[in-house]
Amino acid sequence: MTDLTYHFSFREKDRGWQVILSYKDQAGRWRQKSRQGLATKKAAKAAGEKLLADVLDAMKSQPIAPELVDITLAEFAEYVFRSRNLAYNSVLAYRYALKNYGPKLLSMPVRKITYLDIQHAMSAWQCADASYQLYVTCLKMVLSSAVDPYHLRQDNPASRLKPRKLNRRHKIRALTQKEFDRLMENMKTRPMKYYVICAIAGYTGMRLGEIMGLTWDDIDLKNRQVSVTKQYGRIGHGKRGIMNIKNGAAGHRVIPIPAKLWQILLAYRHTEPRQISGQLIPPKLLHRTLDGYIKKVVPDASIHSLRHTYATMLLAHGTDIKTVSALLGDTVSTVLNVYVDYTDDMRRKAAQSIEKIFA
């Protein structure tokens, strides 16, 4: 039941029963707790089990490292971020999230924070639903680590925070087939690297960071597929570089290369000088310049719009949600939420089909 080393002793004393619990603490020293004046031996055994449960609960709240006893929320958060090996961008986002709780809560010892303290820190918030979710998620994660594995406290006071019901997202901007064709035709007149980026984004749905992280080793022209395992982004203060994508719902995936993209990549490989790093795209690419080229053709679009274009085209042609989410590197719930208008339309069409089938 437990790894605790312990034993019970029972004896009659002063016209009643006494139970003594002897146990080893986390430092390996023997300790004792006792109860006496109990009417029967059966009652003494029950009292002993209660003593044991109390000891186990107390041990759960003993920090695994003495230096963590009076650690503040701000200090402990950094401790957690390092131990979880988070990506640099994630650390920046979580640091920003915690700042919104204010200096008073951040300077409090983790062991003393109450639900009321958290509520007071949140009382002045005026933020979007998505920001609220980020702030709450971050605090829950940090204080959950305080419970386990660090044993700073027995409960997570943030666990009682209720998530806000997110409003439907604003309608995404996806290009029509005609807009996409017109954009690709125009991009042929631009520097080749910008044309290739738009082609990869539109024909695979990859994020810009993932495209920038591609090396020629990731491109299998023979089998016409691209492996997504890396991304380009911030890896430290003032530093950018390639980092591995964690495998999982939004992680590694293999995407088919359509014939049009295959031809573009083949031409690019034969005409553009190779990078020493093996990257397809030179790292010194101007995001603003890229979006500027796109907006000259489709004023309200951006490079990320091409990811939406890929997804909506797949959905429009009947590709199932699970396959779309796998190709995008997103969860099914994310795809349902982001492309809610398109999935609603799919459901309406399905209802019409069912009506015809069973008419």
Q: Where are the domains positioned within the chain?
A: 6-59, 67-147, 177-352
Q: What is the pLDDT of residues 182-238, one digit of tens each?
A: 999 999 999 999 999 999 999 999 999 999 999 999 999 999 999 999 998 888 777
Give yes or no for residue 167 having a pLDDT over 60: no
**The pLDDT of residue 248:** 57
Model confidence pLDDT, tens digit, residues 1-25: 456 889 999 999 888 999 999 988 6
Q: Are 183 and 198 in contact (CB under 8 A)?
A: yes
- pLDDT of amino acid 169: 55
Query: Count of residues for the chain?
Result: 359
Q: What is the mean pLDDT of residues 274-292?
A: 86
User: Across the chain, what does the average pLDDT equal?
Assistant: 87
Give the tens place of pLDDT for each residue, 295-352. Answer: 999 999 999 999 999 999 998 888 888 999 999 998 888 888 888 777 666 667 667 7
DSSP-assigned states of every residue in 220-288: ETTTTEEEE-EEEEEEETTEEEEEEPPSSTTS-EEEE--HHHHHHHHHHHHHSPPPTT-BSS-S---HH
- pLDDT at residue 1, as a whole number: 41
Q: Could you report the per-residue pLDDT of 91-129, keeping only the tens digit for each?
A: 999 999 999 999 999 999 998 999 999 999 999 898 888
Helix/strand/coil for 310: helix
Contact 185, 175 (CB under 8 A): no
**pLDDT above 60 for 27:** no
DSSP assignment of 133-153 = HHHHHHHHHHHHHHHTTT-S-
Residue 310 exposed, middle or buried by CB count within 10 Å (0-12, 13-18, 19+): buried
Residue 46: per-residue pLDDT: 95
Average pLDDT score over residue span 281-301: 91
| pTM of the shown model | 0.66
Q: Which residue has the tokens 């990506």?
A: 87
CATH number for the domain formed by residue range(s) 177-352: 1.10.443.10
